Structure formats: structure tokens, C-alpha cells
Amino acid sequence: MFDHVKFGVRDYAASKAFYLQALAPIGVSVVGEGEPSYGAELSAGGESSLCLFETTETPAHLHIAFVAPRREQVDAFHRAALAAGGRDNGPPGLRPKYHPNYYAAFVIDPDGHNIEMVCHAPA
């Protein structure tokens, strides 16, 4: 739903590896890359991208939600993100307080950002 989100990370290589593995279930790959201070653009081939760059500044913690067409992809994201070194911040499941079909999972990335994958489709 976004064009791009760009934020700074402390360990560029670790964060890039984390996002590539965690977001592989929705087809994310590197579509552009420069020096770590410029960063990498990650996308699933659509119109939106996630851009990471290395910095020594302390970035504010973000909440980024990625959309998945199917609930199985939310499950796969959660497994992949944990395997990539993320910390669980909410296992896959329905969050009916948002709406009846809000199926999501949450992880904390290497820099403390809250990363969510959500599917709005019914089971």
C-alpha cells in the first residue's frame, strides 16, 4: 500500500539478510543496491519497496505492515522471520479487534522495529 519506506539500520548486512529471508514468502528480493550508506531497495516486483541504509544514528522504532494475499504466507513469514533472527511479537492468528478477517503475525527485527505481515482475506 506504500510507494516506499526507507529507514536506517545499525548492521546493514544483518538487516538486509533478515528482510530478504523474512519476506521471501511474498517474493521480496533486492531490486537496487548501492553502498551501505545508500542502501538497498527490496521489492516483490510491485510498485512499493522497502529501502534500508546503514547509519550510526539511532532510528526511532517503526511499525511496518506488509500485506499478504493468503494466510499461509503470514504463517511462512513468521517462521522465516524467526529463523532469520527475529523475535516473536505475536504469532500468526486472527486479530478480530481490527476486523473479523485480520490475520496477522508480528516480529521484532534486528533493530527493534515491529514488523507485521497481514492478510485481510477470509480463510
Residue 96 pLDDT greater than 80, yes or no: yes
Q: For residue 92, how far is the Cα from the chain centroid?
A: 14
Q: What pLDDT does residue 57 have? A: 84
What's 3's DSSP letter? S
Q: Which amino acid is at 55?
A: T
Looking at residue 10, what DSSP letter applies? S
**Is the pLDDT assigned to residue 47 strictly greater than 90?**
no
pLDDT at 1 over 70: no
* Mean pLDDT for the stretch of residues 42-57: 90
Is 70 exceeded by the pLDDT of residue 45? yes
What is the predicted pLDDT for the residue at 61?
Answer: 76
Q: Could you tell me if 50 and 33 are in contact, meaning their C-beta atoms sit under 8 angstroms apart?
A: no
Task: Please state the pTM of the whole predicted model.
Answer: 0.82
